[in-house]
Amino acid sequence: MQGPLENPDLREIIDEYDNLIVFGAGITGVWLFNHLNDHGYGERTLCVIDNDHKKHGTKICDQLTIEDVTYLEGLGNEALSKSLVINTISDIQETWDQGNSFGCAKQIAIGTFIDTDIVQAHTKILDLTDVYGKGNYIAHSLECAMHAHKAYFSKSTIFLRSLDLMVTERCSLKCVDCSNLMQYYTRPKSEDKDELISGLKHFLSKIDHLFELRLIGGEPFVHNEIYSIIDECSSMVNISKISLYTNSTILIREEQFKKFKAGLGKLYFSITDYGDLSYKLQENIDILNRLNIPYRCHAPEFWTDSGRIIYEERTEMELQELFNKCCGKNLFTLSGGRFYRCPFAANLDRLSDELHDKHNYINIDEVTKESMNKYVNDLKYLPACKNCKGRSYDSEQIKPAIQTNKVLDICAIT
Ligand SMILES: C[S@@+](CC[C@H](N)C(=O)[O-])C[C@H]1O[C@@H](n2cnc3c(N)ncnc32)[C@H](O)[C@@H]1O
Ligand code: SF4
Ligand code: SF4
């Protein structure tokens, strides 16, 4: 398997340490573990550390158990002083300081050793753990780590791993616990296509590179100009990938995709399989197979009680803790000409003038390297967190996609 260990510079670094600790058990982390094994470093790889509690105790390739950070305490200072941490997580701004705090001799970011040849070499490899899906997840993850890690150490680049573009408040389903708050809209409407595109272009003119634009709603395929939106977004040069997030209730139009001026090369589908509700699933999958568009089709994964607008008295400390633990805080969202940390805040601001708070977002006009850095790295919490239950790895799981036919009342909660 072609990879960074063919690079003698990386091997030279690794050879200085007795022990290796892989940080991150996502696709890149699992891939790296296999790659280390292939190059005879399996025995020296002590553990894979991940922050997601749900992964702890499970095994990678039936060999190494995924551990919580506390596992490192048991290794002792002597072993740690001979250990190298290899960070594989794309959200490196979130995890680099944490990796440095492990007490190991050194940390490196694997993406800085990945190049486009390595990514290319993986485009034909399917992720076999993805039961229904097809698509080059490994290539996608390696490419993302490559861009994210290199940009993190380049002081001059504004790089965003992912951005959700809210194309509509409308949905073909009404899930009572929708984390994007669709259940609260009384008169949901779609965004005007021209405003959406000009807002996005304006935003992109302020940054260097967006790895993945996720078109999202509600249900993006209820927007009557969705095909032209997808095509226009695909032609934007500083976006690498366009992902479509759909519930597969609507038949996608094969002919429309074939007309795209920008081609289909950047497209990627994430389909949530809501069982009987996603009644166009098989037809859509057949179309995507014919068009050769990669997709991932998955059951609704780990739903939490994050779709409720609440008001609870919380101290500053409690708010900071809620925000720190929240895995929604980096679901950056562009909505109504504003850049948000998460879809909850974006939709709360749209839904309620009373709860709307200008400290929840940055106006696109005010986006600069400094303002982005402050908003993305220094924020302690958002005003919207006061009305949110948060989404932490240890949140209780709830039954997904329970349908309601009533609009939920935003005022009932205050
Ligand atoms: C908000 S939806 C929008 C796209 C599309 N309508 C769909 O449902 O796939 C995006 C993703 O958020 C997930 N989601 C919605 N509510 C959630 C919740 N309370 N907890 C966790 N995930 C949730 C959905 O399952 C879906 O995969
Ligand atoms: S989670 Fe349900 S209500 Fe929310 S956008 Fe997706 S399908 Fe619509
Ligand atoms: S806790 Fe805060 S950051 Fe997390 S989803 Fe809620 S509003 Fe967003």
For 139-196, the DSSP string reads HHHHHHHHHHHHHHH-TT--EEEEEEEE-BS--SS-BTT-TT-GGG-SS--BPPHHHH
Q: Could you tell me the distance, in angstroms and rounded to a whole number, from the CA of residue 401 to the centre of ligand 3?
A: 20
Sign for the CA dihedral angle at 71, 74, 80, 83 comes to negative
Residue of minimum CA distance from atom 1 in ligand 1: 180
pLDDT at 137: 78
Residue 173: CB atoms within 10 A of its CB come to 18
Q: What is the pLDDT of residue 220?
A: 98
The atom number, within ligand 2, closest to the CA of 218 reads 5
SS3 203: helix
Q: What is the pLDDT along the chain (414 residues), one digit of tens a residue?
A: 689 999 999 999 999 999 999 999 998 999 999 999 999 999 999 999 999 988 999 988 888 899 999 999 999 999 999 999 999 999 998 899 999 999 999 999 999 999 999 998 887 665 544 544 556 678 889 999 999 999 999 978 889 999 999 999 999 999 999 999 999 999 999 999 999 999 999 999 999 999 999 999 999 999 999 999 999 999 999 999 999 999 999 999 999 999 999 999 999 999 999 999 999 999 999 999 999 898 888 999 899 999 999 988 999 999 999 999 999 999 999 999 999 999 999 999 999 999 999 999 999 999 998 999 899 989 999 999 999 999 998 899 999 999 999 999 887 554
pLDDT at residue 135, rounded to an integer:
60
**Ligand 3 centre from 363 Cα, in Å?**
19
- Please identify which residue in the block is written with the tokens 């260097």: 208
Domains located in the chain, CATH noted: 4-144 (3.40.50.20), 157-413 (3.20.20.70)
- Atom nearest to 179 CA in ligand 3: 5
Phi then psi for residue 179, to 5 deg, are: -70, -15
Query: Does ligand 3 come within 6 angstroms of the Cβ of 389?
Result: no
So what's the pLDDT on residue 150?
95
Residue 23 contacts by C-beta under 8 Å, 6 or more apart in sequence?
A: 29, 48, 49, 50, 85, 86, 87, 88, 89, 95, 99, 102, 107
278 CB burial (10 A radius; 0-12, 13-18, 19+): buried
Pocket around ligand 2 at a 6 A CB cut-off? 171, 173-175, 178, 180, 182, 217-219, 247, 401
